[in-house]
Structure 1
């Protein structure tokens, strides 16, 4: 029951705040290095790291021109997580004990990089490495964002239609109200004339009655 509630809250947050990714996990699917930066030809110590995060050491990567495949369940997985649409400064490095660590490559790692339908992102740096990353949640977020952005024109169209309908109804109601006032005014005038005529006739009737009582013949 709690898991369903959490899922519902996640969906609501995702639609309400599309900039949130709700913890999009990134794993390393494969890696092939083309260069060993060690001077004496010893085995490289390769690791992945994003700025401000811990190192993800890759102890199995020891040879150049060898494709290493991963299951996503290794001890160093996941490599990182995206909690928003913002990019991170990440890279592959080779650990050194004497001097500064060597850099295979550093780049702005973004959720939008995962544009493939299977959630993959392939990064190749000439003479350095070829890496494939996975982030299925990034694809789900992009689909939701696209769906939400695609719905805006329809929503705007419906909003315009409702505005036009409201304006038409307001004009019609105003016209009916004015017409009602005109009809009511004409009816009041007609009743007023009828009442004046009735009073005028009653005045003549009263005059005839007085003449009859006095015995005065009408001329």
Structure 2
């Protein structure tokens, strides 16, 4: 599985989890329109679900940040390897070039 397909899978997974949070937010806002008797009874449960939503959002943001750092480290390693390969290629003895120039037989 390539890095690109892994990224696509990850973003689809995050998007699906965000879609699951939307009904919880909609249910939370609809409880505010109820009358005051049921609103007081549902206040504790809505406070609990609101805290859960905040916790899930924080965990989601932390996982996205961690994944971004991971991808940045991979990009840095690939860039460093490419620079090292170019440097080695620059300083290696190219016998074909020496033969073409007549420096060596």
Residues 1:164 and 1:154: Cα distance change in structure 2 (over 3 Å): same
1:8 corresponds to? none
- Give the one of 79, 82, 100 matched to 1:181: 79
Which residue pairs with 1:20 in the alignment? 33
Higher share in helix = 2
Structure number with the higher strand fraction is 1
Output the TM-score relative to the length of structure 1: 0.31
Pair 1:148 & 2:46 matched: yes
- Structure 2: segments with no counterpart, 5+ residues: 1-25
Matched ranges for 1:69-108 at <5 A: none
Deviations 1:16-53 (CA, angstroms, capped at 9, x unpaired): 243322xx5xxxxxxxxxxxxxxxxxxxxxxxxxxxxx
SS of aligned partner of 2:31 = coil
Output the CA distance in 2 between the equivalents of 1:151 and 1:181: 45
Question: CA shift at 1:176, angstroms?
Answer: 0.9
Change (3 A) 1:148 1:184: same
TM-score, normalization: structure 2?
A: 0.56
| Number of residues of Structure 1 aligned to a counterpart in Structure 2 | 81
Q: Which of 191, 212, 216 is matched with 2:89 structurally?
A: 191
- Max Rg structure: 1
